[in-house]
């Protein structure tokens, strides 16, 4: 092999490696948002006892009964009409161009969570519906979820078109790249760099979210990727997974929507 050819190969390999970094490979050195610290596979409020007891909590959490908890916040989404389609090459063949229209609605800023600040998981679609009904709401439609995540000018991810890194979502927590050995979802709101422009948290990662979709008997749709996701494509605003409506998977939860 000539010296010039060898130098060309080295240059090409270096360029590809650099390009991968620029595109936004996951950065496990910064997995949590400001005020949160990594404990095992989870992001917890600093200076707390096992993500539970607290005297003060980082935003967006608040102290409730001596614990860091998610506040009850709903985000208003304006009436929207938008053309969605394969906005990036990875969507080719998966996303059919179509026009979505939703009336004004509200959606929870946080996923449904337990008495603390951890997302609820392992619930069927009917159980998710019942929890939302208790809150005076319902599951969002598939179109509503898409518009809440992608916006009026569809974004690749809820935060924008830049890459999926660890601080933007609770993903890759079981076998990497953001952590290892997770057995469930993370603290809600702990990845603030992944918020939408309207202030909706965790629409990419943490738990996949049931949406209201009756297209197939016994089969529903979950959206948004989860803590088990290992591929960034699973976090895209167009990604969806079909699941039996009776399934209770540890990586599936929900958030609620409200008529306006």
Q: Where are the domains of the chain?
A: 24-259
Q: Give residue 50's pLDDT.
A: 64
pLDDT above 50 (res 9): no
Give yes or no for residue 244 having a pLDDT over 80: yes
Domain spanning 24-259: which CATH class is it, in words? alpha beta
Phi and psi dihedrals of 138, rounded to 5? -160, 170
The pLDDT of residue 2 is above 70: no
Q: Using CA atoms of 164, 254, 240, 22 in order, give the dihedral in degrees to the nearest 10.
A: 0
**pLDDT bucket at 199, cuts 50 / 70 / 90:** very high
Q: What is the pLDDT of residue 166?
A: 95
For 47-56, 191-200, 233-242, which range has the lowest pLDDT when averaged over its residues? 47-56
At residue 182, does pLDDT exceed 80?
yes
User: What is the pTM for the complete model shown?
Assistant: 0.86
- pLDDT exceeds cutoff 50 at 10: no
Of 83, 73, 195, which Cα lies nearest the Cα of 143?
83
Residue at token pair 């650099």: 18
User: Is the pLDDT assigned to residue 167 strictly greater than 80?
Assistant: yes
- Residues 158 and 148: their CA atoms lie apart, in Å, by 8
C-alpha of 149 from chain center: 9
pLDDT at 11 over 50: no
CA distances from 153 to 13, 106, 107, 114 (A): 35, 19, 19, 33
The pLDDT value given to residue 29: 72
Rounded Cα–Cα distance for residues 35 and 44 (Å): 9
pLDDT for 6: 41
Q: 81-94 as b/e, with b when 16 or more CB fall inside 10 Å? A: ebebeebeebbeee
Distance from C-alpha of 128 to C-alpha of 199, rounded to nearest angstrom? 22
pLDDT at position 92, please?
57
């Amino acid at each position: 092999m000539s010296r010039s050819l060898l130098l060309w190969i080295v240059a090409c390999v270096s360029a590809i490696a650099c390009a991968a970094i620029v595109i936004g490979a996951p950065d496990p050195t910064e997995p949590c948002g400001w005020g949160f610290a990594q404990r095992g596979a989870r992001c917890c409020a600093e200076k707390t006892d096992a993500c539970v007891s607290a005297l003060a909590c980082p935003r967006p959490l608040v102290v409730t009964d001596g614990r860091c908890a998610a506040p009850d916040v709903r985000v208003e989404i304006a009436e929207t009409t938008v053309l969605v389609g394969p906005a990036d090459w990875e969507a080719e063949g998966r996303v059919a161009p179509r026009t979505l229209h939703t009336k004004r609605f509200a959606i929870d800023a946080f996923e449904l969570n337990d008495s603390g600040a951890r997302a609820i998981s392992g619930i069927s679609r009917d159980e998710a519906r019942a929890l939302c009904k208790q809150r005076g709401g319902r599951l969002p439609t598939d179109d509503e979820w898409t518009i809440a995540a992608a916006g009026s000018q569809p974004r690749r991810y809820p935060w924008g078109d830049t890459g999926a890194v660890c601080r933007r979502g609770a993903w890759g927590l079981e076998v990497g790249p953001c952590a290892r050995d997770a057995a469930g979802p993370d603290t809600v709101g702990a990845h603030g760099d992944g918020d939408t422009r309207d202030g909706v948290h965790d629409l990419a990662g943490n738990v996949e979210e049931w949406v209201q979709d009756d297209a197939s008997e016994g089969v529903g749709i979950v959206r948004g990727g989860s803590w088990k996701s290992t591929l960034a494509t699973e976090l895209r605003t167009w990604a969806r997974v079909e699941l039996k409506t009776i399934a209770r998977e540890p990586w599936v939860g929900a958030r609620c929507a409200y008529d306006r």
